[in-house]
Amino acid sequence: MLQTNLTHLTSEEKFNQTLKENENVMVCCGRMGPMCIPVYEAMEELESTYKNVKFADMEFDSQTGNLIRSLPETKNFNGLPFTVYFKNGKVVKATSSIQSMDQITNILDSNFGK
């Protein structure tokens, strides 16, 4: 399990349930590596500000990780982490590799509103 304070999506059932119960979801699928940790940390910081967004992580190498790895939106990605933004269960944005706080908040603001 990833060592973060985010909600861990450890099964397909939990993933589907999270998308069903939350209008806006940001999922960071990665490892405890140097490009992933800054994204998890940014998400942990943003949780208290963006109450309208569910922040979750997923282990890249797990079976559940395949749910993100196999999305058409991530097919050309080859830099960890794969971060995917869902609105009403549909992908609205996906990024590959490390992202800054500014990049993340820009995506959240433009897709989910403040």
Determine phi and psi for 99, rounding to 5 degrees: -130, 145
* Helix-, strand-, coil-residue percentages of the chain, each rounded to 5: 35, 25, 40
The answer to the question of residue 84 lying near another protein (CB under 8 A) is no
- Residues 48-67 touching another protein, rule: CB under 8 A, are none
Q: Closest approach of Cβ 21 to another protein, in Å? A: 27
Query: Which one, 21 or 102, has the nearer CB to another protein?
Result: 102
Are residues 26 and 95 in contact, defined by beta-carbon separation less than 8 angstroms? Answer: no
> Which residues in this chain contact another protein in the complex, by CB under 8 A?
3, 31-38, 41-42, 45, 76-80, 95-97, 100-102
